Amino acid sequence: MTQAQAQSGEIDWEAGLVQRARAGDARAFERIYREHSGRVYGLCLRMTRDVQLAEDCTQETFINAWRALGRFETRSTLGTWLHRIAVNVSLSKRRKSGPVESLPDDDTGAIGDWTLETPVEVREIEAAIDALPDGARDALVLHALYGYSHDEAAQMLGLAEGTCKAQLHRARRLLRDRLGMEVLSA
């Protein structure tokens, strides 16, 4: 740890783990895995809808992260960085198993926090999300569940921001149809 790092307030023990993992310490990297595997697996599972594929994606995410640790910039959070890798891996694996749909780049305006008219059972909403087409589900998961902005979600998915918003608009319409209630966005 240098004084410059100390001054910029970047000293925390996760940064210490990253530093040690960069130097080849697999034990430190295992700690990073233990800390982040749930969020990475959760995202992979929602994007792939397949337990085996999600496991593969999670493993590949951390293997790729290990190889790319030298390029990790500490100004972004480790969790977000891992999510970016997980999205890339999940999209790549999914492309191998089928065609990727695309939507026209039409901007449907800002979509914020997603709430339901009345409370719904978790398993019911999870099933409704699972049933969404891939593109709409990807955008919904990143934006409405994991809280990434339109711009961040679009970048992660390799889409134009307008396309990402269109996918979200589509997701909302489909969820409304499946749940039989309006899905409100603030």
Binding mask of the shown chain, residues 55 to 84, with x at each position contacting another protein by CB under 8 A? x--xx--xx--xx--x--------------
Amino acid 52 reads: Q
Q: Closest approach of Cβ 99 to another protein, in Å?
A: 27
Answer left, alpha or beta for residue 24, where phi above 0 means left and psi between -120 and 50 means alpha. left
Burial of 38 (0-12, 13-18, 19+ CB in 10 A): exposed
| Binding status of residue 112 toward another protein by CB under 8 A | no
Nearer to another protein, 105 or 113 (CB): 113
185: enclosing H helix or E strand: strand 183-185
Segment lying near another protein (by CB under 8 A), choices 2-10, 86-94, 95-103, 161-169: 2-10
Nearer to another protein, 101 or 130 (CB): 130
Amino acid 91 reads: L
| Binding status of residue 113 toward another protein by CB under 8 A | yes
Residues sharing a CB contact under 8 Å with residue 109, sequence separation 6 or more, in sequence order: 165
CA gap 173, 22 in Å, rounded:
45
Residues that bind another protein (CB under 8 A): 1-3, 6-7, 9, 11-13, 16-17, 20, 23-31, 33-34, 37-39, 41-42, 45, 51, 54-55, 58-59, 62-63, 66-67, 70, 113-116, 118-122, 125-126, 140, 144-147
